[in-house]
Amino acid sequence: MSIYSHRLRNQGTIVLTFFLFLFDIRKKICIFAVDNHPNVITIVKIIYSHLIYQIISNTRAMPKAKSISLVKPFVKWAGGKGGLLPSLDALLPANFADLANVTYVEPFVGGGAMLFYMLGHYKNIRRAVVNDINADLIHCFKLVKDNPQELIERLRTIENNYYHCEANGRKELFYAYRDQYNKTTISDDERAAVFIFLNHTCFNGLYRVNASGKFNVPYGRYKRPVICNEKVIMADHELLSSIEVVICTPGDYKNISRYIRPQDCNFIYFDPPYRPLLDEINFKSYSNSPFDDKQQEELKSFCDVLANRGCFLMLSNSDSKNTDGSSYFERLYEGYNINRVIAPRLINSFPQKRIPQTEIVIRNYL
């Protein structure tokens, strides 16, 4: 056995022993908390998940951890959950890892940070259902899952064209591709590649359309953006190919209802367009269909239906207030369990507003 192999095995043993130690401590504290202060359970789970997440991310010598670190969203996405993953993990059902035949469902998948995290960390998930209203985003997911090389080749061509231009030429090329994207004459595969290019080179990585449904985010002026991230695309492909993944026809979030099977343990994570805060202008429009309070109320009714079908539900949203100062979502989701988490706001048109904010997590279980 080589020195490297021996060291790798020893590191694996140390990390596994430490995991077991942390799990034992967490279990004892949570048992104590049940009889004393139930809120302690959530605090302990958050701390525990942060520790585990950091250990997995930083243990580079371990092959499994390395593969997980490559799995991440292939696009930027406003409101992405990368910074909230440990907190969301801590709010999963306590016995989630022990559940059998789990189907993981995301009706508003966006960049897919939570999707990739869950599939990468919970091997009891046997099936996933992915949906989004954005047709080009959904086609990107299909290409990553079924034909990643086609996507990679198209992105390489665009990347080479971009890098061979001077600064002014890159800006002109961006707007040329944006004009091309807003036309309906290109193929779905080419639109998907241009979609990713625009996402990686536009201002703040936003996806925003005008009233006519045309993408209108300006140029972002990055020095050398990564346009074709082959390693990430292939890592995502391997993960999405490892289980049964249903990618819905792009459309309304209610599409997922037909894929909920009574024989499965269904866990559904909702990450809808956030309700604006009172002092915030909702400048992001992901489609030309608004998601206003009426839509939020319809989503709550849909959650009630799914809860009655025995599904586990988790939903994220802003900690939005009514004009009288009361919590909008505490009123709307009365009877559900609501927790608040701290989330970094990494995408904002004003740098001074990129500060941590409180968000809420709504669940139909303890």
The token duo for 314 is 């988790």
**Residue-wise pLDDT tens digits, 237-286:** 999 999 999 999 999 999 999 999 999 999 999 999 999 987 655 444 55
Residue 242 and residue 351 share a domain: yes
In the listed set 18, 35, 69, which residue is the last one of a domain according to the structure? 69
| Residues 56 and 169 placed together within one structural domain of the fold | no
Q: Which amino acid is at 108?
A: F
Same domain, 129 and 252: yes
Same domain, 170 and 289: no
| Domain count within the chain | 3
**Residues 205, 239: contact at Cβ < 8 Å?**
no
Range of the domain at 29: 1-69
pLDDT digits (tens, 9 = 90+) for 8-61: 444 444 444 444 445 454 444 444 443 444 444 544 555 555 455 445 444 333
Asked whether residue 218 is domain-assigned, the answer is: no
Q: What is the pLDDT of residues 125-173, one digit of tens each?
A: 999 999 999 999 999 999 999 999 999 999 999 999 999 999 899 999 9
Residue 119 covered by a domain: yes
Per-residue CA distances from 251 to 161, 216, 289 (Å) = 33, 21, 11
Residue 331 lies in a domain: yes
CATH assignment of the domain containing 290: 3.40.50.150
Instruction: Specify whether 126 is located in the same domain as 249.
Output: yes
> Is the domain of 193 the same as that of 265?
no
Tell me the Cα Rg of the chain: 22
Q: With bands split at pLDDT 50, 70 and 90, how would you rate the model's confidence at 78?
A: confident
| Nearest one of 362, 352, 365, 305 to 331, comparing CA atoms | 362
- pTM value is 0.80
36-40, 109-113, 126-130, 305-309: lowest mean pLDDT where?
Answer: 36-40
Distance (Å, rounded) from C-alpha 29 to C-alpha 51?
16
The residue with greater pLDDT, 169 or 357, is 169
Same domain, 235 and 299: yes
Cα distance between residue 32 and residue 281, in whole Å: 45
Same domain, 53 and 169: no
pLDDT score recorded for residue 211: 87
Average pLDDT, the chain: 84
CA–CA dist 251, 38 (Å, integer):
40
Residue 318 has pLDDT above 60, yes or no: yes
Confidence of residue 64 (pLDDT cuts 50, 70, 90): very low
Query: Are 263 and 356 in a shared domain?
Result: yes
Q: Are residues 129 and 263 in the same domain?
A: yes
Are residue 255 and residue 118 in the same domain, yes or no?
yes
Which residues, at least 6 apart from 102, have a Cβ–Cβ distance to it below 8 Å? 96, 122, 124, 125, 126, 127, 264, 265, 266, 267
In a domain, 217, yes or no: no
Which region among 20-34, 228-242, 334-348 has the lowest average model confidence (pLDDT)? 20-34
Residue 262 shares a structural domain with residue 127: yes
> For residues 178 and 218, what is the distance between their CA atoms, to the nearest angstrom?
9
